[in-house]
Structure 1
Amino acid sequence: MNNIQRLEMETKSISLNQSELIVYLQENNLQPHTEYNAQSATNKRNIFKSALSVLESVANSPDTLKNIKHEDMSVSDFATNIQNRIDQLDHKIRTLKTDEQAQFNSNTFMLFDK
């Protein structure tokens, strides 16, 4: 599975052009056709950041919201659900460590330094 396929998996039911997905991935330091590395904390974090960018883009476009609505869900329900997913992803991104942070495996940090 490559990075663009992983991003599509994370943003199911939101269909965007491949070129748009590529831009979102590149903005988050990922190459779209490179193999997805599930063991890499940084790669996983960047996929989630890309998915967050996609969702924020959809949430900021009323025309897109109208087009994506499902048969049993109103636009306002969809907007509420997408905002909840944005909040979840934002929290997940803030709690995920990068590869460099995971190496140190410490939950402490230096508050003051001389």
Structure 2
Amino acid sequence: MTIIERLKMETKGFNYPDEELSVYLQENGLDPHAEYIPTSNANKKAIYATALALLESLANQPQLFKDYKFDDETVSGFGDRIQSRIDQLSRSLRMMSASDDSSSNGSTFMLFNS
């Protein structure tokens, strides 16, 4: 599986052209056509950062936030769900290790009080 294919898995339901996805991936330091390494924390973090950038770009399109009615049912709350996913991805990114170094097995928390 390539990195661009892995990004498409993360952003299912949003059909971005491959050229746009490639630009977003390159901005996050990834080669879209390189092989995806599932064990690489750096790859996974960069894919999540790219998905976050795509969702933030999507959130900047106000025409998508209107309510729709299909067969007597109203589809609404798109903006709330997008914002919820953006928040979830942001939290995940902050908690992920940025390196593939397996020598650090735990999280480090430091609190400084001045």
Check whether TM > 0.5: yes
Q: Which has the larger radius of gyration?
A: 2
The equivalent residue for 1:73 is 75
Decide whether aligned partners of structure 1 residues 102 and 95 sit closer, same or farther in structure 2, where only a CA change above 3 A counts: farther
Distance 1:110 1:102, change over 3 A: farther
| Displacement after TM superposition at 1:100 (Å) | 4.8
**Which sits farther off after the overlay, 93-102 or 34-43?**
93-102
Runs (4+) of structure 1 moved beyond 4 Å? Answer: 69-72, 109-112
Structure with the bigger percentage of helix: 1
Counterpart position of 2:50: 50
The residue aligned with 1:14 is 14
Deviation at 1:101, TM superposition (A): 5.6
CA distance in structure 2 between the partners assigned to 1:110 and 1:66 by the alignment? 40
Q: If the length of structure 1 is used for normalisation, what is the TM-score?
A: 0.82
Which stretches in structure 1 are left out of the alignment for 5+ residues? none
Larger mean CA deviation between 9-18 and 96-105 belongs to 96-105
Identity of aligned residues (%): 46
CA distance in 1, matches of 2:100, 2:8: 26
Q: Assess if the C-alpha contact under 8 Å between 2:65 and 2:79 holds in 1.
A: no
Hey, what's the Cα distance between the residues in 2 that align with 1:95 and 1:48? Answer: 12
Structure 1 CA distance for aligned equivalents of residues 80 and 65 of structure 2:
13
User: Where does structure 2 lack aligned partners over 5 or more consecutive residues?
Assistant: none
Offset of 1:17 from its aligned partner?
1.0
Q: Do structure 1's residue 25 and structure 2's residue 25 form an aligned pair?
A: yes
In the alignment, the residues of structure 1 paired with residue 98 and residue 47 of structure 2 have an alpha-carbon distance, to the nearest angstrom, of 12
What is the aligned length? 108
| Contact 2:55/2:86, CA 8 A, preserved across alignment | yes
Map Cα deviations across residues 1-27 of structure 1 (whole Å, 9 max, x no partner): 101011111011111111110011001
Higher percent of residues as strand? 2
Alpha-carbon deviation of 1:62? Answer: 1.8
2:97 corresponding residue in structure 1:
97
What is the CA–CA distance in structure 2 between the aligned matches of 1:16 and 1:91, rounded to whole Å? 24
> Please, what TM-score do these two structures have when normalized by structure 2?
0.82
